[in-house]
Structure 1
Amino acid sequence: MRYMLTYDLMESIRVTNQWLGASTRAMCSYPALGLVANPMFQMAAAWGEVTERSFSRMVARPDWEIASVPGEDGRDHLVSVDTIVERPFGDLIRFKVQDRAPTGRNVLLVAPMSGHYATLLRSTVRSLLPDCDVYITDWHNARDIPVSEGKFDVEDYTLYLVDFLREMGPDTHVIAICQPAPLALAATAYLAEMDPDAQPRTLTLIGGPIDPDAAATDVTDFGRRVTMGQLERYVLQRVGFKYAGAGRMVYPGLQQLNSFMAMNAEKHAKAFTDQVMRVAKGEAGDHDKHNTFYDEYLAVMDMTAEFYLSTVERIFKNREIARNVFAVNGKQVDMGKITTVAVKTVEGGKDDISAPGQCVAALDLLTGLPEGKKASYLEPNAGHYGIFAGKSWRNNIRPLVLDFIDANAGSNVVTMPVGKAAGK
């Protein structure tokens, strides 16, 4: 019960700060105060606006905001988001481009379950849609999932990917970004042995911790320093009474956000102070650079306790993927069973979360895969975010990934040239 009270206390603090921001903004925006020759009221109203928006975003689920994409015919084609497979802990969704013929590139984006929604990959989806038929794993917020739905750990995550790949069929090209890269590799190996006809054509792993010990970062150091007992005692809580998942043990998104913010506290403090000044001067916009970034960054979701703990213990501490001893439902998954799926790794030279060396380690595990079906790429000046959503992704990595997909498409001939639909 004390964990439920702690969870509700965190939510109460968030609501209180949201209320303080809204109240300050309202009280300092009365027209009569415009007669007072003191900028204090404008500054206070601006602080209230930024504060209210910041704390309200923490429990909001962002929208995809992808209305249309340009087509080769010169028209903008409407995009609908359709659910293909619906499950308690996550869905397989498709971005359906209306009135457009299939591109020949069926791409499954495997989104991280690391505290943010799949919309974190919105810009990645946008960049791929003109040239690909895009699907993505849309993970649900654990606080909204009733306890009666049971557990969800790394093995369940892997089996979800297996089911999604079976649904999409063999002409699928998987792009796994960051945290799910090891599990996407495991799901592919599972299919290679259990259901070879459902294997994807290609697997692209971007900035994932296949072998966390290959290159140390703050994330891997944290995994070594903290014991599992400490994690269970100090970071897990039970969902409070406000949500459908009341009583479920979770790693709260608000706690994860606090850790994110603490890593670059000075940078975030300056960003918020600067935004208050812009609002006070009337220079801020609803979709300016600051709001576009923080509306997504602050929107966090809870992870199930078992998924968080099993990720830390099995992927980082025990290195089960790196040592090729990962098991699903008691059956070991052998990466050496992958013999036909082309695999490419992508790393960022300035990635401080999954440092260079961690992801490319996957290729050494693929003992049954011909060297001609292995590829790797290092983007020298890219950080973690840049390798899947920034300028480095758009200009350098994305074209290479699409070329890799086309080169290993087999009989599934692609008729749309890379970049043509995107106006490149």
Structure 2
Amino acid sequence: MRQLLTYDLMESMRVTNQWMGASARALCSYPQLGLSANPFIQLTAAWGEVTERSFARMAAKPDWGISSIPGDDGRDHVVTIETVMERPFGDLIRFDVQGREPTGRKILLVAPMSGHYATLLRKTVKSLLPDCDVYITDWHNARDIPVSEGKFDIEDYTHYLVDFMREMGPDTNVIAVCQPAPLALAATAYLAEEDPKAQPRTLTLIGGPIDPDAAATDVTDFGRRVTMGSLEKFVIQRVGFKYAGAGRLVYPGIQQLASFMAMNAETHAKAFTDQVVAVSKGEASDHDKHNIFYDEYLAVMDMTAEFYLSTVERIFKNREIAKNIFVVDGKQVDIGKITSVAVKTVEGGKDDISAPGQCVAALDMLTGLPDEKKANYIEPEAGHYGIFAGKSWRNNIRPLVLEFIDANSGDEKHAKPHAPRLVEDDPVENVAV
């Protein structure tokens, strides 16, 4: 009961802050107050607008917002989202580009389950859609999943990836971003032994903690310092009465968000202060850089307690993937069994979540894979966000990943990757997410 009441208390605090922002915005927007020359009124209204929007976003799942893409034929092609596999804790969805022939590049984007929705990879999807057939793992918010659906830990997550890869077939190119990188590697090794014909063609691991001890960060240090008992006691809550998953033990997304924001508190505080000033001057807009970024960044989802705790204990503390002792259903998954899947790792030189060295560690574990099927790339000036959704991704990393996919496609006539088509700037490219 204590955990359930604490969850509802957190939700009450969020709603209260949202209400305070809405009230301040409404009260300070009366026309009569325009007679006053006191700038405090405009600033208070602006503070209310930014605050209301910020806390409202924490409870809403963002839309993909991808309605069409330009084609090589000079026409815009409508994009629809199709559910390929529907599962309790996450779906496999496809971005279907209407009126376009298959591109020859079938890509499975494995989205992180680390507190944000899969829409965090919206820009990644947009950049790949003109040249690829894109599928993505769309993980569900644990607060909306009834307790009757059972548990979901990292072994269940691995099984989901295995099922998704089997569904898509052996011509699939997997790109795993951040948190799922070690489990995507494990799922590929699982298939290598259990169902070799279902293995993907290539596997690209972007900024993932394959070996957290290879280059320590605040994230890995936290996993070392805090005991599992402390985590269970202080961060695990039961979903409150408001949601379908009432009673389910979860790691709340709001707590994860608070942890991430604390790592770059000054950057975020300045961004919000600057936005309040911009709103008060009438210089902000509904889709300016700040709102585009924070509408996504602040939209958080809960993780099941067993997934969060098993990730901390088995990936970060025990380093089961790094030591090649990861077990699924009582059977060890041997990374060395991967002998035919080309593997590329991508790291950011300024990544303070998964520092350089953590992801490339995967290549040394692939003892059965020829060197010509291994590749690594470090983007010197990119932070964590930039290596999968920022300018560094669009201008430098994306073309290299597509070249790697084409080089291992077995089709020498495959077209070269197109130049980047989306060149919008990212306001917080090097912020930890």
The TM tier, using the shorter chain, reads over 0.9
- Equivalent residue, structure 1, for 2:115: 115
Residue 166 to residue 338, structure 1, CA distance change in 2 (3 Å): same
Superposed counterparts of 1:247-326, under 5 Å:
247-326=247-326
Q: CA deviation at 1:13?
A: 0.5
Contact 1:92/1:135, CA 8 A, preserved across alignment: yes
Q: Secondary structure at the match of 1:388?
A: helix
In structure 1, C-alpha distance between the alignment counterparts of 2:177 and 2:413, rounded to whole Å: 24
Query: Residue 58 in 1 paired to residue 33 in 2?
Result: no
Please give the alpha-carbon distance, in whole angstroms, between the structure 2 residues aligned to 1:349 and 1:406: 25
Which position in structure 1 is the counterpart of 2:430? Answer: none
> 1:175-186 counterparts in 2 under 5 A?
175-186=175-186
Is 2:42 the partner of 1:42?
Answer: yes
413-422 vs 314-323, which moves further: 413-422
Q: CA deviation at 1:259?
A: 1.0
One-letter amino acid matched to 2:211: D
Aligned ranges 1:350-369 → 2 under 5 Å = 350-369=350-369
Consecutive unaligned residues of structure 2, counting only runs of 5 or more, are: 424-433
1:115-139, CA deviations, whole angstroms, 9 ceiling, x for partnerless residues?
A: 0000100000000000000000000
Task: Map 1:178-197; keep pairs closer than 5 Å.
Answer: 178-197=178-197
CA distance in 2, matches of 1:220, 1:37: 51
Which amino acid counterpart does residue 226 of structure 2 have in structure 1? V
Which residue number corresponds to residue 392 of structure 2?
A: 392
1:415 to partner: Cα distance:
4.1
CA distance in 2, matches of 1:301, 1:223: 21
Q: Distance in 1 between matches of 2:320 and 2:333?
A: 10
Structure-2 residue corresponding to 1:203: 203
CA contact (8 A) 1:72 1:420 kept: no
Could you tell me the TM-score, scaled by structure 2's length? Answer: 0.96
Match of 1:10 in 2: 10
8 Å Cα contact 2:394-2:422 kept in structure 1: no
Q: Is residue 346–residue 359 contact of structure 1 (8 Å, CA) maintained in 2? A: yes
Change (3 A) 1:303 1:2: same
User: What corresponds to 2:372 in structure 1?
Assistant: 372
**Distance (Å, rounded) in 1 between the aligned partners of 2:207 and 2:363:** 14
Note if 1:333 corresponds to 2:336: no
Q: Secondary structure at the match of 1:72?
A: coil
Contact (CA 8 Å) 2:402, 2:417: kept in 1 or not?
A: yes
1:382 Cα deviation after fit? 1.2
1:416 is displaced (CA, Å) by 3.9
The residue that corresponds to 1:418 in the other structure is 417
Shift of 1:410: 2.3
- Given that 2:202 and 2:341 are in contact with CA atoms closer than 8 Å, whether structure 1 keeps it comes out as yes
Question: 1:230-245 to 2 correspondence within 5 Å?
Answer: 230-245=230-245
- Larger mean CA deviation between 268-277 and 306-315 belongs to 268-277
SS in 1 for 2:96: strand
**Inter-partner Cα distance in structure 1 for 2:260 and 2:387:** 19
1:70/1:421 Cα in 2 relative to 1: closer, same or farther (>3 Å)? farther
Measured after TM superposition, the shift of residue 37 of structure 1 is 2.5
Counterparts in 2 of 1:404 and 1:285: CA distance versus 1, 3 Å: same
Give every structure 1 segment of 4 or more consecutive aligned residues whose post-TM-superposition deviation is greater than 3 Å: 413-417, 420-424
SS for the counterpart of 1:285 is coil
Q: Which amino acid aligns with 1:47?
A: W
Corresponding residue SS for 1:208: coil
Task: Give 1:40 deviation, angstroms.
Answer: 2.1
Residues of 2 paired with 1:383 and 1:274: CA distance? 22
The match for 1:100 is: 100
- Cα drift, residue 270 of structure 1: 1.6
The answer on whether the counterparts of 1:350 and 1:380 sit within 8 Å (CA) in structure 2 is yes
- Number of the residue aligned with 1:217: 217
State the alpha-carbon separation in 2 of the partners of residues 367 and 20 from structure 1.
58
1:78 aligns with 2:78: yes
Contact 1:103 1:414 in 2 (8 A): no
Q: Shift in Å at residue 50 of structure 1?
A: 0.7
Check the 8 A contact 1:175/1:203 in 2, yes or no.
Answer: yes
Amino acid at match of 1:210: I
Q: Superposed, which structure 2 residues align to 1:127-142 within 5 Å?
A: 127-142=127-142
**Cα distance, 1:354 vs structure 2:** 0.7
Distance in 2 (CA, whole Å) between partners of 1:27 and 1:6 is: 31
- Distance in 1 (CA, whole Å) between partners of 2:136 and 2:10 is 31
Distance 1:84 1:233 in 2: 38
Residue identity matched to 2:4: M
User: In structure 2, do the counterparts of structure 1 residues 414 and 329 end up closer, same or farther at CA, with 3 Å as the change threshold?
Assistant: farther
Which letter does structure 1 place at the counterpart of 2:222?
A: F
More moved, 17-26 vs 262-271: 262-271
Aligned residues of 2:406 and 2:414 also touching (Cα < 8 A): no
What does the per-residue CA deviation read over 1:261-285, in whole Å, with 9 as the maximum and x for residues that have no partner?
A: 2112222122111111111110000
CA distance in structure 1 between the partners assigned to 2:417 and 2:255 by the alignment: 41
Report the residue type matching 1:177 in the other structure: V
Question: CA 1:33–1:134 in structure 2 vs 1: closer, same or farther (change >3 Å)?
Answer: same
**Maintained 8 Å contact 1:103/1:416:** no
**Amino acid of the residue matched to residue 357 of structure 1?**
G
Distance 1:414 1:134 in 2: 21
Give the C-alpha shift of residue 423 in structure 1.
9.1
Check whether the contact 1:236–1:250 (CA below 8 A) recurs between aligned residues: yes
Deviation at 1:414, TM superposition (A): 6.2
Once residues 101 and 377 of structure 2 are traced to their aligned partners in structure 1, the CA distance between those partners, rounded to angstroms, is 31
Letter matched to residue 144 of structure 2 = D
Q: Deviations over 1:364-391 (max 9, x none)?
A: 1111111111111111111111111111
Question: Taking structure 1 as the reference length, what is the TM-score of the superposition?
Answer: 0.98
Name the amino acid aligned to 2:242.
Answer: K
